[in-house]
Amino acid sequence: MSWRDWLPNRSDDPGFTNAMLGDLEELRLRERAKYGRIRAEWRHARRLLSLGRHFGRGSGQGLLGGLLTDLRSSIRRWAATPTLTVVLALSLGLGIGASTAVFSVVDGVLLSPLPYPEADRLIVVEPEFPGQGGRRGPTSPPEYLDLAASEVFENVGVAWYRPGAMTDDGIDPEDVDMAFVSGDFLQTLGVAPLLGRLPAATDDVEGAPKVVLLSHATWQRRYGGDPDIVGRRVAFDDDPHTVIGVMPEDFRMLFPAGTAMPPSLAAWVPWGGVYDAYNRNWRVFTAIGRVSSGADQAQKKLDALAATLRERHGDAYGESGFKWRVDRLDAAVVAPVRGLLGLLFAAAWLVLGVGCANVANLMLARAARDQHEACVRVALGASRWRVLRQALADSALIGGIGVGFGVVLAAAALRVLPALAPADVPRIESVALDWTELGYAGLLSVGVTLVLALLLTRASRATAGGVLRVHRTVASNAAWTRQTLVAAQIALSLVLLVGAGLLLQSFLALAALDPGYEPDGVLTVKLSLVDTHYPYAEPSKIVDFYRDLATRLEDTAGITHAGATSQLPLDGASYSLGPYGFENASGELIESGNAADYRVVTPGLLEAMGTEVVAGRLFTRTDTYETPRVVVIDDQLAKRVWPDEDPVGQQLLLHGGFAEGDERPWAEVVGVVRHLRHHPGTIGTEQIYASHQQTAQRTMTVAMRTDLPVSDALAAVQTAIRELNPIQPMREVRPLNAYLAQALATTRFALDLLVATSLVALVLAVIGTYGIVAFIVSLRVREIGVRMALGASPRRIVGAMATTGARLVAVGVALGIPAAYAFASTIRGLLFEAVATPGIGVLVGSIVLATIGVLAVLVPARRAARLSPVEALRSE
Amino acid sequence: MSGEFPGEFEQMLMLTIMQLGDDAYGARVREQLAQEVGREPSEGALYTTLKRLESKGYVTAHLETAGEERGGRPRRYYRPTDTGLATLRRSRTALLRLWSPIEAELDEA
């Protein structure tokens, strides 16, 4: 078939055709002068069409003219059955829309490369401690030097997230997210600055002039996009820094989820510390390297290096089994949401499957009806090609409408999804319906149209004689296919329902979990004290600040308790895990296998959180640097380590981070509290609380228990801070229960989407079941008439019809149960551990589907029974 | 063949062809028809009818090469045959006979 086919048929009479085309050409030229080019071309095209209709090949019509006729007749035919048309378009549109939207998200978040040059060569390197429960941690400064010297990398750099304050004269102080970076960190990522230069190795040495690289947003917001910003002096933590450059607007720090690095930073500052002067267990940096030989090679070389280091620094690593874990950066960034997106992807495909089954079914039913018409047309002389072409046009039209609807739906979904998605889905804001996704929708449409046309070719198997026996043939030929499709649909819906049920169970279990504290009525605010005013060399200043702040707050009417913690429960993942040791009954030091989640808290914090004291006491203001070191532990640690003894008064060996010098300190357990849920979904980690008055930290989250309105409480804390240090900013003012809600957000998001998709699938399956039974009834009207005329009661008619449908539902559910079990076991990893088996979900899902299925069957069955015998017999 | 009458559009085309004499080719016929009776036939109808006139033997046709304005394609010139003229005449006679008694009536009305 070529374009010539819609021109007049040449082989008939080439001279005639040629002359005719010559006439058209002549007219076209003449009309161009008369009407102008556009109108002349339009008239020319109309003439060609008119000729095509009269002289083209195939059933006496040109293909193009014929297609227009076919399309027009298709529109008429679809318009004649509006319900069917709408159901078909909805089925296709929902399926295509859902899968396109989810594909767009998957593509944007998982498939498209990170926005760094040759991002597939970037790896993230993390120390791991198999001897301490497999905990992982950041890299210490000496370890960074080991990595840099290892020749494993083309480039390797480290970064450390750190909140800071911008304190320029004449501009309001502002608390910002920034990072300390090593001299080669940004070179490793490979992104060039917009203005100026990146930090270099010479900036990252002790005593080097202090410089800063600004983000585009900071440059615009704080310095009004000053074109001469490079070289300008700005103040961080009251310390002047020289601006060396500005990063591009779209630059993001895409780090693995556990590193707590926000994607949008305000500034990058070279660390400038003496790397080899630090303890090997002082862990603050995230290391990212660029390799040329792949992550596996790097892993091998680093394993060898780690072995050497374990030997050389036995005192630092001990029994921890220190090694490096290497992951590709892109995989590590999306790791926490990979499962969730995979689940959604599967769900979207299932919905598309159910939708397509529906479409196929309804089209088959329609084809059966149309076969009669097709036979009549063949009997009247239409060619088989002509009949097939009509079927193609019908499918193309409904396919086009469905795809169009699907794309609109997907575009709408993509507008809404990023807003609903939890904040920890990386890159969700950059997800958009683009050409890839449209191509995807296009491919789907071609596939669907072809399948539909294939189904409809049945209609072209029309013969003149078929006019008389059409109904019977169709009923027997297509019945099996149709019933299989309905059963498959029901099975797929069951899978989705069970998936949604499991996720719901998981969500409820998570939500019902006792957090171990009273999350309501607590306001929190984050503070990072300015370095220059509160240096670590004078920890008493830091201690005093937080103590005075708590005192001022507790003196405010309406605030009962106030304190501060290094990290709130459920406030993101962190590297707060650390080893600890204790002496067993025979005086032996047990270190292996002990890991606890460490938090540093001020007196008053545990009270403000509403933590329940199980034994002993909480911290008081009399625990200071001058008094013996004390800790509070959670009941899990207490139960495991001292199952038969009183834990209060026992001694714990803390991790290296608490050391002053080389000695790790021992601390006395003074109290035991209920276990707090620090991380979503995990129950197991033991917890140790250290006193802030013995381990000063600048960056803390203040929490106050209050019955004041948020605005009043906020005003109180603002006043108190300003009185203590006028330039001290604060950030992230949130109620404590917001962290709880945020921890559930990912599961909640997945749950919402999965429930929505399974409802769509359920609706589609019901439509399918209803449609097929209604169709079977319509085929058997004559039989029903005969049976009723012979005395069958309406009840028996309902029974007979309903049995057919109920059998379908039963087969579907039977097929669905093993599939649902298989699905459940694949998504097990995404579920909260308390959810045991999919059994309940499968049971409930089966019952729901069976009930709805039987209802869908009963409606047309009862209608059959209401037919009067005479009417039924007259129907043919 | 003797009892056959041409259709209305066939008659119009034949009359136009006769009017045009040596210049009667498709595009010209179309133009002339439009000018004389204000009727612009569709291309499909025009060429199908010309073809039918040929196959009925009412007209003959011959090709003549033409210039660039037609993309190098020839013109097909039409000329009525004797059969065509006879049929046309017969049709005219018949129509006139049928018209004459009612012509006066039509004028009064």
- Report ipTM for this prediction: 0.88
Residue among A22, A47, A50 minimizing CB distance to B75:
A22
Residue-wise pLDDT for A470-497, tens only, equals: 444 444 555 677 778 778 888 888 887 8
On whether the CB atoms of residues A788 and A867 are closer than 8 A, the answer is yes
* Cα nearest neighbour of B64 on chain A: A19
Q: Which among B27, B43, B48 has CB closest to A26?
A: B27
Residue of B nearest to A13 (CA): B51
> Quick check: A50 and B42 CB within 8 A?
yes
**Which of the two residues, A576 and A843, has the higher pLDDT score?**
A843
Check CB contact under 8 Å for B42 and A25: no
Is B47's CB within 8 Å of A55's CB?
yes
A457 pLDDT above the threshold of 70: no
Chain A residue at shortest CA distance from B77: A19
The token duo for A244 is 């060396």
A181 in helix, strand or coil? Answer: strand
Tokens of A577: 């895990």
Q: What's the pLDDT at A220?
A: 92
Residue numbers in B near A43 (CB within 8 A): none
Residues of B in contact with A32 (CB under 8 A): none
Which of B70, B75, B78 is the mutation pick for testing A, counting most A CBs within 10 A? B70
Q: For residues A327 and A299, give the distance between their C-alpha atoms in angstroms, rounded to a whole number.
A: 9
**Residue whose token pair is 């989820």:** A257
Taking residues A604-632, what's their average pLDDT? 91
A208-212, A534-538, A667-671: least confidently modelled range: A534-538
Closest by Cα among A159, A167, A90, A95 to A122: A159
Chain A residues with CB under 8 Å of B67 CB are none
pLDDT at position A212 = 93
Asked if the Cβ–Cβ distance from B71 to A25 is below 8 Å, we say yes
Please indicate whether, in this complex, the C-beta atoms of A27 and B30 are within 8 angstroms of each other. Answer: yes
Name the class of domain B8-108: mainly alpha
Mean pLDDT of A311-337: 83
Alpha-carbon separation of residue A279 from A75, A142, A317, A632, A651 (angstroms): 78, 7, 11, 25, 24
Residues A760-816: tens digit of each pLDDT: 777 777 777 777 677 777 767 777 778 878 888 888 878 877 787 788 888 888 888
With an 8 Å Cβ cutoff, the interface of chain B facing chain A consists of: 25-27, 30, 42-45, 47-48, 51, 61, 63, 66, 69-71, 73-76
Other Cβ atoms less than 10 A from the Cβ of A107: the count is 17
Residue with the larger pLDDT of the pair A204 and A261: A204
Q: Is the pLDDT of residue A330 over 90?
A: no
Q: For residue A56, give the chain B residue with the closest CA.
A: B44
For chain B, which residues score pLDDT lower than 70?
1-3, 108-109
Nearest to A54 among B27, B30, B48 (CB): B48
- The string of pLDDT tens digits covering residues A73-105 is 888 878 877 777 887 888 888 878 877 887 787
The candidate with the shortest Cα–Cα distance to A703, out of A495, A560, A494, A497, is A560
| A chain contacts of residue B43, beta-carbon cutoff 8 Å | 20, 24, 47-48, 50-51, 54
For chain A, how are helix, strand and coil distributed in percent, rounded to 5? 55, 15, 30
- Rounded to a whole number of angstroms, the distance from the CA of B27 to the nearest CA of chain A is 5
pLDDT exceeds 60 at position A645:
yes
Mean pLDDT of A230-255: 88
Give me the helices (H) in A611-731, please: 635-641, 710-724
- Spatial separation of the C-alpha atoms in residues A518 and A677, rounded to whole Å: 11
Considering only CB atoms, which chain B residues are within 8 Å of A61? none
B61 contact residues in A (CB cutoff 8 A) = 16
How far apart are alpha carbons A552 and A562 in whole angstroms? 9
- Could you give the 3-state DSSP secondary structure of residue A16? helix
Only one residue has tokens 């065509």, namely B84
Residue A302 identity: L
Chain centroid, CA B21 distance in Å: 12
Residue of A nearest to B73 (CA): A22
For chain A, give the longest Cα–Cα distance: 114
How far from A738 is each of A552, A678, A741, CA to CA, in Å?
25, 14, 5
C-beta separation of A583 from A589 below 8 A: yes
Distances (CA, A) of A381 to A462, A523, B57: 12, 83, 29
Q: How confident is the model at residue A462 (pLDDT cuts 50, 70, 90)?
A: low
- As a whole number, the mean pLDDT across chain A is 80
The average pLDDT across A195-224 equals 91
Instruction: Looking at mean pLDDT, say which of A315-319, A817-821, A832-836 comes out highest.
Output: A817-821
- From B42, B45, B74, residue closest to A22, measured CB to CB: B74
- B-chain CB neighbours of A53 within 8 Å are 44
CB contact under 8 A, B45 and A16: no
Ranking A58-62, A247-251, A396-400, A851-855 by mean pLDDT, the lowest is A58-62
Best B23, B29, B43 member to test A by mutation, with max A CBs in 10 Å, is B43
Q: Which residues of B touch A13 (CB under 8 A)?
A: 51
Residue of A nearest to B65 (CA): A19
Closest partner residue to B27 (CB to CB) among A16, A23, A55 is A23
Measured between beta carbons, the chain A residues lying within 8 angstroms of B73 are 18-19, 21-22, 25
Would you call A21 and B74 a contact, using CB atoms and an 8 Å cutoff?
A: no
* 3-state SS class at A113: coil
A16 contacts B70? CB cut-off 8 A = no
Given this model, what pLDDT does residue A441 score?
A: 67
Nearest to A681 by CA among A569, A579, A757: A569
CA distance A139 to A185: 14
Task: Measure the CA–CA gap between A584 and A579, rounded to whole angstroms.
Answer: 16
Residue A71, token pair as written in the block: 């399309």
pLDDT digits (tens, 9 = 90+) for A111-143: 777 888 888 899 999 888 887 667 777 888 999
Computed over every residue of chain B, the mean pLDDT equals 87
Please answer yes or no on whether A23 and B71 come within 8 Å at the CB atom: no
Residues 6+ apart with CB under 8 A from A738: none
Check B73 against A18: CB less than 8 A apart: yes
Residues of chain A found within 8 Å of residue B9, distances taken between Cβ atoms:
none
Alpha carbon distance A194, A229 (integer Å): 12
**According to the model, what pLDDT value does residue A17 have?**
81
Q: For residue A88, what are the contacts with CB-CB under 8 A and spacing of at least 6?
A: A358, A359, A362, A363, A398, A402
Collect all residues from A whose CB is shorter than 8 A from any CB in B.
8, 13, 15-16, 18-27, 29, 47-48, 50-51, 53-55
Alpha-carbon distance B28 to nearest alpha carbon in chain A (angstroms): 8
Cβ A25 vs Cβ B74: under 8 Å:
no
CA distance A52 to chain B (A): 8
Question: Which chain B positions have a beta carbon within 8 Å of A8's beta carbon?
Answer: 47
* Nearest CB to B70 within list A16, A25, A53: A25
**Which of A22, A53, A54 is facing B66, going by the closest CB pair?**
A22
CB A715 within 8 A of CB A516: no
DSSP E strands in A329-416: the ranges are none
Nearest to B47 among A15, A20, A25 (CB): A20
Q: Which amino acid is at A697?
A: Q
CB < 8 Å to A12, chain B: none
> How many residues belong to chain B?
109
Instruction: Name the minimum distance, in Å, from the CA of B68 to any CA of chain A.
Output: 9
Nearest chain A CA: its distance from B83 CA (Å): 21
Pick from A230-239, A457-466, A706-715: least confident: A457-466
Give the pLDDT of residue A472: 47
Q: Cβ(A552)–Cβ(A723) under 8 Å?
A: yes
> What is the torsional sign of CA A828, A830, A835, A838?
negative
Answer whether A15 sits within 8 Å of B63, measured CB to CB. yes
